């Protein structure tokens, strides 16, 4: 019996790339789920999503218009819900530098509203999505997501006797997601351009399906307070350009405001509380709300070495040009051909 049997699950930001793939996977893999609620603020995206996930045909589907900034609306949406996946966020780094207060309202205050509404609604499991930019952040987007991460982890300290658990998943660039580099390169190559911010830049890479699997793992196995990080490969931005348009000479344009050369998901300071769980790392609270020895024994987890850091620049697994092309065909465009 799965933990999703006869359960109601709500996804904030459910009309996004992750939300749609998560719901598709949930319906296929766990047909015994009782209800799935899409919570988002864009009525057009909800209308378009209903063409694929029709409530008339899929009786368990619900669509709920609302903004995570509105606690009262969240509380109404959370009625009768058992589990929440919090994927709603403002995400564009340059936009955050120019509109900081908007990102604070959605990414920080919105997270606080989700936590408060979850407590009031007697929800049992919450998993929030984070980003590699939340580790040692240098831009406002990363800083707001780090605050969000801290809020969800700390929520376990005040749950009292409630059976609720809060955890976070943190991963890097999602291949093919809206606004990411590969779709951008695929579009702009038609103009004979290939702008690259920095020749030495690297990034982590994860597919939507891997991100979905990680969130499902968090929901199924969370003890409350874990920040999960996947073991995923890196790519060099010049290799991405070469994989997509080898005939176009890249133009180095300089990094954008708030951008890093390499992304981190686990900092050296995190190494004191990071454990290797096999396919994932888990950054645990410095004072967990569970018995650490029991956790280590249950998952056969091993503490990482002091000073360990997980960066896209010092990764041990790299995608080649051929690997990138194969992944584009698999996850973005089956008809893809290098230009």
Q: How many residues does this entry show for the chain?
A: 339
The structure tokens listed for 292 are: 């650490």
What are the start-end ranges of the H helices in the chain?
17-29, 43-52, 71-77, 93-98, 100-103, 110-120, 140-154, 181-188, 208-221, 237-244, 292-299, 321-331
DSSP class of residue 285? P
174-201 b/e (C-beta count within 10 Å ≥ 16 → b): bbbbeebbbbebbeebeeeebebebeeb
- 105 tagged catalytic: no
Q: Report the Cα 322 to chain-centroid distance in Å.
A: 26
Strand (E) or helix (H) holding 253: none
Q: Which residues pair with 39 in a beta bridge?
A: 12, 64
Number of Cβ atoms within 10 Å of the Cβ of 137: 19
* Cα dihedral 292→143→75→167 (10° resolution): -20
Q: Which of 7, 91, 133, 242 is catalytic?
A: 133
Q: Which residues pair with 8 in a beta bridge?
A: 35
C-alpha span between 325 and 339 (Å, rounded): 11
| Residues designated catalytic | 133
């Amino acid at each position: 019996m799965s933990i999703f049997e006869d359960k109601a699950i709500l996804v904030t930001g459910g009309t996004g790339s992750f939300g749609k793939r998560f719901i598709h996977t949930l319906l296929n893999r766990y047909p015994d789920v009782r209800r799935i609620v899409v919570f988002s603020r864009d009525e057009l995206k909800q209308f378009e999503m209903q063409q694929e996930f029709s409530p008339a045909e899929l009786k368990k589907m619900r669509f709920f218009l609302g903004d995570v900034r509105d606690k009262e609306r969240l509380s109404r949406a959370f009625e009768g819900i058992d589990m929440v996946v919090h994927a709603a966020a403002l995400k564009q780094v340059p936009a955050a530098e120019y509109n900081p207060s908007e990102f604070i309202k959605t990414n920080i205050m919105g997270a606080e509203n989700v936590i408060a509404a979850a407590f009031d609604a007697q929800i049992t499991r919450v998993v929030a999505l984070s980003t590699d930019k939340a580790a040692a952040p240098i831009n406002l987007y990363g800083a707001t997501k780090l605050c969000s991460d801290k809020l969800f982890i700390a929520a376990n300290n005040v749950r009292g006797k409630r059976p609720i658990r809060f955890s976070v998943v943190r991963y890097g660039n999602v291949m093919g997601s809206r606004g990411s580099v590969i779709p951008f390169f695929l579009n702009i190559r038609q103009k004979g351009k290939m702008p690259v911010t920095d020749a030495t830049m690297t990034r982590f890479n994860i597919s939507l399906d891997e991100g979905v699997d990680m969130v499902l793992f968090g929901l199924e196995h969370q003890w409350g307070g874990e920040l999960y990080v996947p073991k995923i490969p890196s790519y060099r931005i010049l290799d991405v350009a070469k994989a997509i348009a080898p005939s176009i000479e890249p133009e180095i344009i300089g990094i954008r405001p708030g951008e890093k050369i390499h992304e981190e998901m686990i900092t050296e300071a995190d190494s004191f509380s990071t454990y290797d769980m096999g396919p994932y790392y888990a950054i645990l609270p410095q004072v967990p709300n569970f018995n650490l020895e029991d956790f280590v024994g249950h998952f056969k987890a091993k503490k990482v070495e002091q000073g360990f850091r997980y960066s896209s620049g010092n990764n041990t697994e790299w995608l080649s040009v051929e690997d990138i092309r194969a992944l584009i065909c698999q996850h973005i465009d089956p008809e893809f051909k290098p230009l």
